[in-house]
Amino acid sequence: MTSPPATSATSATEADGPVPAAPPGTPLIRAEKLRVEFRGRSGGKVRALRDVDLEILEGETLGLVGESGCGKSTLGRALLRVIEPASGTIDFLGLNITRLRGTRLRRTRADLQMVFQDPFGSLNPRRRIADIVAEPLLRARGVSKAEAGPIVAELLERVGLGAEAGPRRPHEFSGGQRQRIGIARALASSPKFVVADEAVSALDVSIQAQVLNLLSDMVRERGLTMLFISHDLGVVRHIADRVAVMYLGQIIEVASRDDFFSGPAHPYSEALLSSVPSLRPSGRRERRVLEGELPDPANPPAGCLFQTRCPFAEAQCRTRMPELRTVAPGRTVRCHLPLVTGPAQPSPVEKG
């Protein structure tokens, strides 16, 4: 596929020098103590992200799961600086992007793109498809309209729409086709990192598989790193290499896909998995029904945030916040009483 000129922020270090490629298996993007706050209805602060520590490795797809309202989309947008964090750092290939402003930030955003949940609301209805897809090239990569034309045509071919889609407008396309346009737009600037925020949840099941396969192909062909946000554990199992679980603005478990689905370490993760129906009787988990409601983010409980709903909670859970710690190779969990145990070690992020 034709690539845009290297006037990008592949390029944008704090001295505007080249950003080196990360060796395989090393973090491409890393959040440390990331906190996001919003103003609540009563005027107080609601903490949407609570000191989040997370690493996403070069070339992997990390699935992010959790209940609605737990902070998944907020985390995805904060990593891209669409939402400004109140504190903490975001490291992208050795560059602290929380400190970037103006031109440097715009250049770096060419390497950090997003596929939105709503294929109907995320495209400007007045603009032609070719202009929508070309915008990241023109604004962030400094590519001319003449140079962008062949790149856009090839992208539309690759996502299954064809170059003839370019002069048309969004209302002429179905939901699945619009999501393909969104994917083409996200890939136009040849990014290194893509956040797919519930990218298939608004689509019919028959279309979901097509879009998932397209995303998987793009990740493999282009060597992309992706944060795939979803409430659908079946979809995450299909596309993710590792899984991170979020609860009330905290990361509470990270594990490989196989380890997570064969035996989660956090009681909340176990409850999530037990709610997924299975067609095989032998594959069904004992259903764990959580008592109580999700706590108010503006008034969270003391100690472990999950203790008000956890069937295993003890006295220490009600008074002391658990740390995110390593309980097995490649697996971290924030729990005093994890379901998977091993040598208690600080997580790599916490060791800093």
pLDDT of residue 28: 95
Q: 226 versus 99: which is more confidently predicted?
A: 226
| pLDDT tops 50 at residue 302 | yes
**Three-class SS of the chain:** CCCCCCCCCCCCCCCCCCCCCCCCCCEEEEEEEEEEEEECCCCCEEEEEEEEEEEEECCCEEEEECCCCCCHHHHHHHHCCCCCCCEEEEEECCEEHHHCCHHHHHHHHCCEEEECCCCCCCCCCCCCHHHHHHHHHHHHCCCCHHHHHHHHHHHHHHCCCCHHHCCCCHHHCCHHHHHHHHHHHHHCCCCCEEEEECCCCCCCHHHHHHHHHHHHHHHHHHCCEEEEECCCHHHHHHHCCEEEEEECCEEEEEEEHHHHHHCCCCHHHHHHHHCCCCCCHHHCCCCCCCCCCCCCCCCCCCCCCCCCCCCCCCHHHHCCCCCEEEEECCEEEECCCCCCCCCCEECHHHHC
CA distance 265 to 255: 9
| pLDDT tops 80 at residue 286 | no
* 264: amino acid identity, one letter: P
Q: What percent of the chain has pLDDT over 90?
A: 58
pLDDT of residue 9: 35
Region 86-96 average pLDDT: 94
Q: 281 versus 166: which is more confidently predicted?
A: 166
Q: 85 versus 201: which is more confidently predicted?
A: 85
pLDDT of residue 243: 97
CA distance 246 to 36: 14
Name the packing angle between helices 129-140 and 145-158 (round to 10°). 120
pLDDT of residue 342: 53
Region 244-271 average pLDDT: 95
Region 53-78 average pLDDT: 94
CA distance 345 to 306: 21
The string of pLDDT tens digits covering residues 7-33 is 333 333 333 444 555 565 689 999 999
pLDDT of residue 18: 42
pLDDT of residue 37: 93
CATH 3.40.50.300 in the chain: give the residue spans. Answer: 1-240
pLDDT of residue 285: 59
Q: What percent of the chain has pLDDT over 70?
A: 86
pLDDT of residue 96: 94
- Residue 28's contacts (CB-CB under 8 Å, 6 or more residues apart) are 22, 56, 57, 58, 59, 92, 93, 192, 193, 225
* Residue 66 structure tokens: 């959790």
* 59: amino acid identity, one letter: G
| pLDDT tops 90 at residue 130 | yes
CATH architecture of the domain with range 1-240: 3-Layer(aba) Sandwich (3.40)
pLDDT of residue 110: 87
pLDDT of residue 341: 66
Region 131-147 average pLDDT: 87
| pLDDT tops 50 at residue 247 | yes
- The angle subtended at Cα 108 by Cα 127 and Cα 122, nearest 5°, is 30
The string of pLDDT tens digits covering residues 156-179 is 999 999 999 999 999 999 999 999
Region 119-148 average pLDDT: 88
Strand duo 324-328 + 345-346: pairing:
antiparallel
CA distance 130 to 119: 16
**Total-model pTM:** 0.86
Q: 24 versus 270: which is more confidently predicted?
A: 270
197, β-bridge pairs: 229
Q: 181 versus 277: which is more confidently predicted?
A: 181
Banded pLDDT at 105 (limits 50, 70, 90): confident
The string of pLDDT tens digits covering residues 195-221 is 999 988 878 888 888 889 999 998 998
Banded pLDDT at 295 (limits 50, 70, 90): confident
Region 78-93 average pLDDT: 94
- Residue 43's contacts (CB-CB under 8 Å, 6 or more residues apart) are none
Strongest mean pLDDT among 99-103, 181-185, 279-283: 181-185
How high does pLDDT run on average in the chain? Answer: 85
